[in-house]
Structure 1
């Protein structure tokens, strides 16, 4: 890690209104860490900006000295590319302005999904939230973003109406389909390597009623549950989203679950999922009318940082052999294996870098690498499962792990456009996303 000279650190502190931490400062170890504590990043400094103007001042400062700036609002998605850069924290950009008539929201880059959902729910509206309320909306949308309501409304990125950004030279710009359409295209799912987004304007959707929750069984019923899950997905309308969860927590018996949300009334949802009533009685069934502000309770993902090792893949189908690969053997040392039903609006044309998502399912495999030996075992299990499943070779950006590249997610034509933009707009690599366009 390169240490900033004393004169440079003094200039940095004088350049921004927000708080600056250096490696020798108290509290630095906490503020510089990513969400995934298994990722190491040795940054030159951490800057928690006071406002969007602060972002511009910081980038001008960095650009003049050829120092990269890496943005991590909450630290999700970190890959280690922030090392040797100034780490930008945008938690202070937390404004939320809802226009219930136009059904739009203008949000700062630090707004987390749960916060936006609470604000939208007050008006009977919803954004496109993922499984975790702790992830920032901007971070997820820049990676395309898979949502509970993606089958009804498409990628999170498809809901972006405008972006307020700071370019690599520190200048600010509002980007829309009419103003810089090429950059607008790139920001709607091309990653965070081109500009620093300080605010987004998003299209919200009506959500007068939502039904959802988790049905949970012992893993001894995994085969039956998986078969019912597949059967329901074959006829599910876009308003119904189903995720199959295989769970194996230390010290507890393995479990299997079906997580669901339905944009509509309870009676219709229960009718669409009537096949689950033919299964053995579940250990629990939390399905109920639910506020869109509480969707994060369905999977109950951790809301505090911790170590993790993940791998995601897109699946071309889910036949008997695929189900057998998932349920015939214990998933340990993995803690979770999640199968998401995609399709619906996600399979429709999308003017975004990823484009239409042709694959009907995604798998996400997660474990906690407590030791180097466990980490190796987790990676081996993930590889074995991936080899046994009908993967397409592509994956969503938000499912990429630190050992993968942006090109593992996006089509070649999109990568060519993104590379040209990076070379034109940021040839010195001042803006550094979690995944590099030119890597």
Structure 2
């Protein structure tokens, strides 16, 4: 029996879930992440049935001198060479206690499922632009939500984590039971424990107004000027994102959008339409909108605003935090140039600030973000050979705004292969590294952006 076959046999003895190793039917499909730009060269894939399976895999790896990488679906993958890839997508428990404004979700539950369950109660969780990602993975990285300006990082709404530690032991971690680990798990990533479930606060959203306005790209300068002015005075309930967008020439897209070079604003407002439209009045003065989807909407439909892909694809992205927008805006538009931003799919500027910028004594490792805007550049690898062109385009635009960037990046906006050191100030990074050394001295647990 060779080593790979022996590994498969050993894992099948300790777990109830499905195990695949190299050579097994379906292994390549099982190891493939949602973002297929990354080749996950793992030794085995285990689809855990429950938290007991998770504990069994980690215990086995600790004894065998192997490492474990955990993924529900692979939206933020890494190569994970020779690790055991632990899939937690089958952990689907979801409970909402509306009277307490609390939800408990297991590791495989997506934001779509959470928002559907909370929406009927006039409550929301702190989800981001896509509801397809797991709530747990998003939160471990801090979690920049549509509603972060009002309620802060998603990680700071967590009440407790149910975990398996690097020795394979199960525990429930709270601010009282283990303040050090509780702090690290709220924004420090997946280096410190495998989270099998978490309990977090829900927030009031009795009314939600949101949607997207699309103009032809020639309106970009006007739209960006309105974006700067609107965000300069926006209340915390209002979040506005700016996009330069290149729609693909796909036949399934409606004619006005097919192949269109566009500029858009995406918006959410925790309140009614009358007040929202007053706050957004500058955009209504810009002529020639092609589409305007803004309306009163249920929280369950939050992902409809950006309409991001829900099927796996391959992408390359680059994020930067902007220290301001006055000079950066002109530099960005000049670098983008007239016409298309291709081969990029979009250039996004998110307005941050509000509660995200506030220092909290009881906050997690996510800390706070002083920078008021986030720049995000994304290219989709729709055909072979596009990598170099996308990288060059991203690099040229990043260079244009470099004088107006801080060098820090939110954890969940780190690109493939970027170190966690970009996401944390030196003091927080040093504290996370010390916790990792103490809690996992053998390096059993590996994350997509390790702190060491």
TM range (shorter): over 0.9
Match of 1:214 in 2: 212
1-structure distance, mates of 2:329, 2:436? 39
SS in 2 for 1:224: helix
Q: CA deviation at 1:84?
A: 0.7
SS in 2 for 1:60: helix
Query: Contact 1:354–1:411 (CA<8 Å) still a contact in 2?
Result: no
Match of 1:124 in 2: 122
2-structure distance, mates of 1:271, 1:369? 40
Match of 2:35 in 1: 36
How do 1:181-260 and structure 2 match up within 5 A? 181-251=179-249, 252-260=259-267
Q: CA deviation at 1:371?
A: 5.5
Match of 2:72 in 1: 73
Match of 1:364 in 2: 376
Q: CA deviation at 1:78?
A: 0.7
* 70-79 or 348-357, which deviates more: 348-357
Q: CA deviation at 1:28?
A: 1.6
Q: CA deviation at 1:196?
A: 0.2
2-structure distance, mates of 1:258, 1:164? 38
* 325-334 or 298-307, which deviates more: 325-334
SS in 1 for 2:130: coil
Match of 2:424 in 1: 410
Q: CA deviation at 1:403?
A: 2.8
Q: CA deviation at 1:354?
A: 3.0
Match of 2:285 in 1: 278
1-structure distance, mates of 2:141, 2:328? 31
RMSD of aligned alpha carbons:
1.3
SS in 2 for 1:131: coil
Query: Contact 1:43–1:84 (CA<8 Å) still a contact in 2?
Result: yes
SS in 2 for 1:279: coil
Matched, 1:268 2:265: no
Q: Structure 2 length as normaliser, TM-score? A: 0.94
Q: CA deviation at 1:374?
A: 2.1
Match of 1:331 in 2: 341
2-structure distance, mates of 1:356, 1:321? 22
Match of 2:358 in 1: 348
2-structure distance, mates of 1:4, 1:195? 27
Match of 1:140 in 2: 138
Q: CA deviation at 1:62?
A: 1.1
2-structure distance, mates of 1:293, 1:23? 40
2-structure distance, mates of 1:122, 1:54? 33
Structure 1 gap segments, 5+ residues each: none
Change (3 A) 1:8 1:332: closer
Match of 1:429 among 440, 443, 450: 443
Match of 1:385 in 2: 397
Change (3 A) 1:321 1:154: closer
In the alignment of these two chains, the number of paired residues is 435
SS in 2 for 1:269: helix
SS in 2 for 1:422: helix
Moved over 4 A (4+): 370-373
Match of 1:299 in 2: 306
Q: CA deviation at 1:326?
A: 2.8
Q: Deviations over 1:311-339 (max 9, x none)?
A: 00100000145334236514221110110
2-structure distance, mates of 1:123, 1:94? 21
Matched, 1:175 2:173: yes
Q: CA deviation at 1:249?
A: 2.9
SS in 1 for 2:386: helix
Matched, 1:98 2:96: yes
Q: CA deviation at 1:217?
A: 0.3
Q: Structure 1 length as normaliser, TM-score? A: 0.97
Q: Deviations over 1:76-126 (max 9, x none)?
A: 11122x221010111111111111111000100111111100011121110
